[in-house]
Structure 1
Amino acid sequence: MRLASFAATLLLAAGAAAAAQLPPVNPTTKPPRELALIGEPQPLPPPTSQQAASGTFHGVSVADPYRWLENPDDPAVRRWIAAQNAYTEATLAAMPQGKALTVRVQQLAITSTMRSGPTLAGGTLFYLQQTPPQPQPVLIAQAWPDGTAKVLADPNADHGGAGTAITAYWPSPRGRYLAYGSAEGGSELTTIRVLEVASGKTLPDTLPWAGGGTTPQGLAWDADERGFSYVRFTPPAAGQEVEQFHATLVYHTLGRAAATDRVVFGKGYSKTAEYVLVNAPATAQAAVLAYDGDGGPAEVFLQHGDRFIRVLDRSANVRTAAWVNGRLYLAAFRDAPRGKVVAIGDDGKAAPVLAEREGAIQQIAPLGDGFLVVRSRGPDWWVEQYDAGAIFVRRLPLPEHGIGIGEIASESGSNKALVSYGGWSTPTRWAEYDGRSGALKTVFEVKPAADYSKVVARRIEGTSKDGTKIPVTVLSLRGTTANGKRPTILYSYGGFDIPIKPGFIGPNLAWLERGGVLAYANIRGGNENGQRWHAQGQQLDKQNVFDDFHAAALALIHARWTDRAHLGILGGSNGGLLMGAQIVQHPADYRAVVARVGIYDMLRHETHFANGPYNIPEYGSIADPAQFKATLAYSPLQHVETNTAYPAVLLTTGENDPRVAPWQSRKFAAALQNASSSTRPILLLTRMNAGHGIGAPFSQRVGDTAIGLTFFAHELGLDGKP
């Protein structure tokens, strides 16, 4: 599970130890507040008591006075959540720009029909399609390239509406059947169903507990289309919750009950097993990339019937794979930080195919008798074609800057591929690429609701604490000048191998129309410059991520785009941890912060929430004394200090989040509210029928954008009119 999206001073041991001491419990007075700028007192948030609690790690006692907020079944916690929601809603409603911004965001969100996830099997193209304001995408099948599109599954009608989302889908080798997963209420816990493509008939096969949340879904069909292997948690006893650990691969025969499915791989493999099944739909060849948690490399297994043979261990540092003309091609990063391509031969051994080149490998896809490679360098993405002998043919004629590459739908033996891409001012496009002629033809594009041609992208650079250069992309409308005080929102992520790549800004155009600026930083922890870039933001080196983001913020100020009074920052999930670290490490350098579904108590995340153990490859384990020391030095909750003027903060979370515990946001919000000496609001919004944001309905995604922009507009002083 990837947590599906910001120079700081490294905290020294003495500082960490001081922060770990148990503070007074139940203080009788709150820290003093500044007078509001309008001369009236700022409404105070609902009170939160502190209770005596602590944990001891390697002889260090760490205070935890808000631990009581971890129990969602406690009536006091339920009342607290309701009071916080009421306070947040009332505060946001009083922000005068909210109505106009919401209207504009809604207008900009109503684009033409959108498509995603193209997959080819047996001459049929499968994809998801959504026509705003339709709550959820529907599953489509279309004979490629000129057939009529047909709806196969519509979660808006078939499974109860906006609370149900399609999580993944897998066509059988000849396209006769389609298996797909769905999940409810943002939980991501997947149930697989199967339908017959020609008739659209749903078969009786219903397979619950099929991954999702802590571990990804996966499925690989047999060549005869009579059954498949898929990822599954152990079915729970009646009336019990499923335990989201120890996932295995089980085999299902079409027409049989799920209870008869048998384990074929992974029994006893790992408590935090994650499996990526690499299928070649035309031949039903299958490989398994097996991970022990998230953020690390994979072991590679080839499937031969019920047998799974290991061909590479984790020392090869494999990150992605594809089937090319019957051979498994892998991107391996051992001794090649940007990646090299190797292939598994008939003898089960790896042979070199393509040496390391400029640009980090992001994706491999078959094409004709050769293959395509997607590469990135910082914010720049491109696609290269190679023939059967791995000789370079050409770089695809896509824009050189400002786009990110999405999915590629292709099959070995076919010289045509469907390439999905988009950019800051370019909504999703699908282009048919002819590998023989090199021609690229747009066959589908989303029509935006406004003119984005005036969006200008510029590059600046920050210098992190250790001298590393950090690329920052700055977006504004043509004519918007760097006057030193532009309301600016800076975004990044910084972890789990996930890059920041150009993507359509969509409704965020409303911000630029009013003279605002958007900025995106390529910080370490992602993989846009390869695995060394990723590794330098992991585990003991996590502080690099926070330093990089702060360097990007300072670069915006030094370039006179903005100043500290007009700078806001945004991040979610692992990017929420990034926001938390910025709040406590540099409270005076940001005017406003929006942090979504973030982790703030790193000491409890690993051991007191299901997904925490899965994140150990990325964050390290606090069971190790050195890692505990490094983690305590940056864990945001433990560094909230009383009588500190914190920036305005909006935290959001979802009650059904399987990836980050909702109590993370509750505890951090309470600590900031009790500690801050400024009049700036500290807000917490809990969505009661939502999760991490994966599969969120259209209305929730639009609402989140409008709320975030409203908060930033009020706090950063954005002009009220476009």
Structure 2
Amino acid sequence: MRLAPLIATLLLAAGSAAAAQLPPVDSSSKPPREVALIGEPQPLPPPTPRHPASSEFHGVSVADPYRWLEDPADPAVRQWTAAQNAYTEAALAAMPQGKVLTARVQQLAITSTTRSDPTLAGGTLFYLQQTPPQPQPVLIAQAWPDGAAKVLVDPNAGNDGTAITAYWPSPHGRYLAYGTAEGGSELTTIRVLDVHSGKTLPDTLPWAGGGTTPQGLAWDADERGFSYVRFAPPAVGQAVEQFHATLVHHALGQAATADTVVFGKGYSKTAEYVLVNAPATAQAAVLAYDGDGGPAEVFLQRGGSFRRALDRGANVRTAAWVNGRLFVASFRDAPRGRIVAIGDDGKAVPVLAEREGAIQQIAPLGDGFLVVRSWGPNWWVEQYGADAKFVRRLPLPEHGIGIGEIASESGQDKALISYSGWTTPARWAEYDGRSGSLKTVFEVKPAADYSKVVVQRIDGTSKDGTKIPVTVLSLPGTTPNGARPTILYSYGGFDIPIKPGFIGSNLAWLEHGGVLAYANIRGGNENGQQWHAQGQKLDKQNVFDDFHAAALALIDARWTDRAHLGILGGSNGGLLMGTQIVQHPGDYRAVVARVGIYDMLRHETDFANGPYNIPEYGSIADPAQFKATLAYSPLQHVQANTAYPAVLLTTGENDPRVAPWQSRKFAAALQNASASTRPILLLTRMNAGHGVGAPFSQRVGDTAIGLTFFAHELGLDVMP
């Protein structure tokens, strides 16, 4: 889940794209059995049989009657999934709010051209660009700062199921390696092109990471080859095993079969590598992780060898090359982070002591560097000179923005800072480190006026007394009256912060008197590594308590009540939603959970990336961790004859990160147990994955569907 910042953004904070209204359903095909559902006659969900199955953990037998739903090749599972999709589509299509909300979401989605992921290499700026409703972003290069833009890669030439997963320019910008994946699978194939001629080289490198372990690539200084992340090539006719990733070296022009392992053989079954290039030099570094959520070991590359410079005790989370030295953010004995430099001798030298704000990113600038920091929902950037003395805080907005990528190079006094905010679409600002000036060089033009959105902050108090910041968004005139239809979102895990991001198409919710809220709960790193650690492993229940505290804070502040409160989350945030459903079923009216984890006792198997998540969740092989996990695992706490809230679960059949059966089993359990007349719906996208690389229509189709479901269940008045 090391790409989870993107996942979190795709859920609610960046709903700036459109959706297609679900097609009408033939009412004559309704199942014969009906119950009262939201005050109207509606069909029951498809029946799900229970089959005897169980597992024993540390002397405890745990029943698992829906285990048969784990097998995607079983014809009965395929038939059940199709029936669930038909049931869900019928229920959603019958919600009268859908037409109005979908139309408005479509209008708000058609912004001006967007840009993302800027990178500077050899005086050339590379970035991704998308013009709504174009299905996928294209890859652009232009001489920085005033050169003409040139399209290098356009994945839309085929079908919208092909997505660019990552790209890596060579040190002087002569070549560009880029990865693509199909159908949401994220399994990457790397290709190489000549930037100047636009010619694609014959090099085609499959199995290059993705999903369970991130893609990564480091060019050789002479631009004649590179090292990249790769899974072991599978035998003919077999699927690739997405474990035991290594780094292999590829020389331009040679066959992929000739690529040789240079690092990581036998390192870890759940190895993940972040490769940090030093432009125009022979230096490179590897941040090596054993799964998600934990710290990295740091290795320096010298020629063809790799030498460990820091072990995991240093608690390293990010790094960048600054004037030929590797600067790393170490959180050992420094919860907000400090910076140390790794010298040529491999020894760590202190550079910058812990200061106010948690370190999120380091970037070179001139003969010094930039540091991105956060504290709760507030983000900012600081400049330091070559002697690590503070120069200035960059003149960005003080509140309501989150910092994105920084494109910069050592020896260059100008940097490109990308940022966005709740009411601010993506912007790029050129920062001059000498003068301190900042000027906007690119900004997305939204389809509506967001300047009137009111941003407020309240605090919740978790069970252990920890204060939980909650950001509340509304429009003028939408004041606390105790019953506002409200959607609360958070994530709570894997070192991933909730930061301000453009609300985009979610403005449609505010326009009809609704409220949006975002909670900074533990498990993320917005307050540093202690904030993260307090939401891991044996302390995971803190995350769920924090979110519930945020919900109660909205009720106490009279923004909403239990009859008008909806909650949203995905992936690890789907686990968060599952716990709220079973721990506090009466405190929420509606829940949308996307690509979530619900059976934590089976998540650790080799399905999807469960083993990669052990550093975050702990292993149930440990008796104490098993006891803590069983205490919150949502599936095992679904109780018969309980009045559950309305629930919409979504998943993707090709998801490499969270197995789709997680949603199947949880949906079946809730449908069979709920004593309320509220719908329990499951939507499975058959040519989709976890959400990374999803085409434009799917991403914002999810936005429209989610808002429609919430509007219907929470009573938002959207009728014309």
Scaled by the length of structure 2, the TM-score of the pair is: 0.95
Matches within 5 A, 1:352-367: 352-367=350-365
Residue 20 of structure 1 corresponds to none
- How far apart, CA to CA, are the structure 2 residues paired with 1:168 and 1:306? 24
1:74 aligns with 74
What residue number does 1:605 align with? 603
For residue 259 of structure 1, give the secondary structure of its aligned residue in structure 2.
helix
> Which residue is 2:58 aligned to?
58
Residue 215 of structure 2 corresponds to 217
Mapping for residues 478-517 of structure 1, pairs under 5 Å: 478-517=476-515
Q: Is the 8 A contact 1:34 1:678 kept in 2?
A: no
Letter in 2 for 1:91: A
Please state whether the residue corresponding to 1:129 is helix, strand or coil: strand
Once the two structures are TM-superposed, the CA of residue 282 in structure 1 deviates from its matched residue by: 3.6
Q: Which residue of 2 aligns with 1:402?
A: 400
> 1:457 pairs with 430, 455, 458, which one?
455
Q: Which of 166, 171, 177 matches 1:173? A: 171
Residue of structure 2 in register with 1:206 after alignment: 204
Residues 608, 655 of structure 2: 8 Å contact kept: no
Q: Deviations over 1:548-572 (max 9, x none)?
A: 0000000000000000000000000
Whether contact under 8 Å (2:38, 2:678) holds in the other structure is no
CA contact (8 A) 1:419 1:431 kept: yes
What CA deviation, in whole Å up to 9, does each residue of 1:197-255 have, x standing for no partner? 00110000000000001000000001100000000000001000000000000000000
In 1, Cα distance between equivalents of 2:69 and 2:148: 53
- The equivalent of 1:637 in structure 2 is 635
Deviations 1:368-417 (A, max 9, x none): 00000000000000000000000000000000000000000000000000
Cα 1:77–1:433 change in 2 (3 A) is same
Report percent identity of matched pairs: 88
The question of 1:686 aligning with 2:688 is answered: no
Whole-angstrom CA distance in 1 between matches of 2:583 and 2:42: 25
Deviation digits for residues 37-94 of structure 1 (CA, Å, limit 9, x no counterpart) = 63x5442100000000000000000000000000111111111000000000000000
1:161 shift after superposition: 1.8
Conservation of the 8 A alpha-carbon contact between 1:121 and 1:282: no
* Match of residue 23 from structure 1: none
CA contact (8 A) 1:220 1:284 kept: no
Does the 8 Å contact 2:35/2:43 carry over to 1? no
- The corresponding residue for 1:11 is none
SS of 1:552's equivalent in the other structure is helix
Q: How many Å apart are 1:286 and its aligned residue?
A: 0.8
Q: CA deviation at 1:478?
A: 1.7
How far did residue 305 of structure 1 move? Answer: 1.3
- Cα pair distance change 1:55/1:686, threshold 3 Å: same
- The amino acid that maps onto 2:80 is W
Greater alpha carbon shift after TM alignment, 284-293 vs 430-439: 284-293
1:672 to 664, 670, 673: 670
How far apart are the structure 2 equivalents of 1:116 and 1:71?
38
Structure 1 residues 538 and 578: CA distance shift in structure 2, 3 A: same
Of 371, 374, 387, the residue aligned with 1:373 is: 371
- 1:34: how far off? 8.2
C-alpha displacement of 1:291? 0.5
Q: Tell me, in whole angstroms, the C-alpha distance in 2 between the residues paired with 1:218 and 1:35.
A: 53
2:123 maps to which residue?
Answer: 123
Among 467, 470, 483, the alignment partner of 2:468 is 470
Residue 36 of structure 1, CA deviation: 4.6
Cα distance change of structure 1 residues 81 and 438 upon mapping to structure 2, 3 Å threshold? same
What residue in structure 1 maps to residue 150 of structure 2? 150
Report the count of equivalent residues. 693
What are the Cα deviations for residues 654-686 of structure 1, in whole angstroms up to 9, with x where unaligned?
A: 000000000000000000000000000000000
Counterpart of 2:174 in structure 1: which amino acid?
R
Q: Secondary structure at the match of 1:294?
A: coil
Q: Deviation per CA, 1:593-612, whole angstroms, max 9, x where unpaired?
A: 00000000000010141411
Structure 1 counterpart of 2:267, one-letter code = Y
Instruction: Give the conservation status (yes or no) of the 8 Å contact 1:34–1:677.
Output: no
1:600 alignment partner, SS class: coil
Equivalent in the alignment of 1:91: 91
Structure 2 contact 282–302 (Cα < 8 Å) conserved: no
Distance 2:405 2:37 in 1: 50
Offset from partner CA, 1:101-143 (integer Å, 9 cap, x none):
0010011010000000000000000000000000000000000
2:119–2:408 contact (8 Å) kept in structure 1:
yes
> Quick one: structure 1 residues 37 and 530, their matched pair in 2 at CA, closer, same or farther if it must change by over 3 Å?
closer
2:552 equivalent to 1:539 = no
Aligned partner of residue 602 in structure 2, secondary structure: helix
8 Å CA contact 1:112, 1:448 repeated in 2: yes
**Once the 2 structures are TM-superposed, how far is the Cα of residue 283 of structure 1 from its aligned partner?**
2.9
Output the CA distance in 2 between the equivalents of 1:229 and 1:137: 25
Give the Å deviation of 1:280. 2.3
1:106 maps to what in 2?
A: 106
The answer on whether the counterparts of 2:402 and 2:420 sit within 8 Å (CA) in structure 1 is yes
Q: Secondary structure at the match of 1:374?
A: strand
Q: For 1:569 and 1:418, how far apart are their aligned partners in 2?
A: 36
Tell me, in whole angstroms, the C-alpha distance in 2 between the residues paired with 1:257 and 1:341.
Answer: 41
Secondary structure of the structure 2 residue equivalent to 1:90: helix
Give yes or no for contact 2:282–2:303 (8 Å, CA) kept in 1. no
Structure 1 counterpart of 2:658, from 626, 640, 660: 660
Is the CA contact 1:173–1:284 (under 8 Å) kept in the aligned structure 2?
no
CA RMSD for the aligned pairs?
1.1
Of 285, 288, 306, the residue aligned with 2:286 is 288
| One-letter amino acid of the structure 2 residue matched with residue 135 of structure 1 | P
Deviation by residue 1:145-181 (Cα, 9 ceiling, x = unmatched): 0000000000001xx2200000000000100000000
> How is 1:191-270 mapped onto 2 (pairs within 5 angstroms)?
191-270=189-268
Task: Report deviation, 1:479.
Answer: 2.0
Report the counterpart of residue 9 of structure 1 in structure 2: none
Distance across 2 between alignment mates of 1:721 and 1:309 = 64
1 CA distance for matches of 2:151 and 2:474? 39
Deviation at residue 284 of structure 1 after TM alignment: 5.0
Structure 1: where are the runs of 5+ without partners? 6-31
Q: In 1, Cα distance between the equivalents of 2:38 and 2:131?
A: 44
CA–CA distance in structure 2, aligned partners of residues 312 and 687 of structure 1: 43
Q: Which moved more, 1:274-283 or 1:320-329?
A: 274-283
Deviations 1:319-364 (A, max 9, x none): 0000000000000000000000000112210000000000000000
CA contact (8 A) 2:35 2:44 kept: no
Letter in 1 for 2:58: H
- SS state of the match for residue 666, structure 2? helix
SS of equivalent to 1:605: coil
Q: Which residue of 2 aligns with 1:518?
A: 516
Superposed CA deviations along residues 695-715 of structure 1, whole A, max 9, x for unmatched, are 000000110000000000000
Q: 1:35 Cα shift?
A: 4.8
**Corresponding residue SS for 1:77:** helix
Instruction: Determine the structure 1 residue equivalent to 2:18.
Output: none
Distance 1:401 1:78 in 2: 48
**Aligned position for 1:26:** none
Return the letter of the residue paired with 1:83.
A
SS at match of 1:603: coil
Whole-angstrom CA distance in 2 between matches of 1:149 and 1:647: 50
Shift of 1:285: 2.3
Equivalent residue number for residue 45 of structure 1: 45
CA contact (8 A) 2:243 2:269 kept: yes
Whole-Å Cα distance in 1 between the matches of residues 643 and 540 of structure 2? 25
Structure 2 Cα separation of the partners of residues 518 and 278 of structure 1 = 37
Alpha-carbon separation, structure 2, partners of 1:528 and 1:273: 25
Q: State the AA in 1 paired with 2:187.
A: L
| C-alpha distance in 1 between matches for 2:461 and 2:280 | 48
Match of 2:29 in 1: none
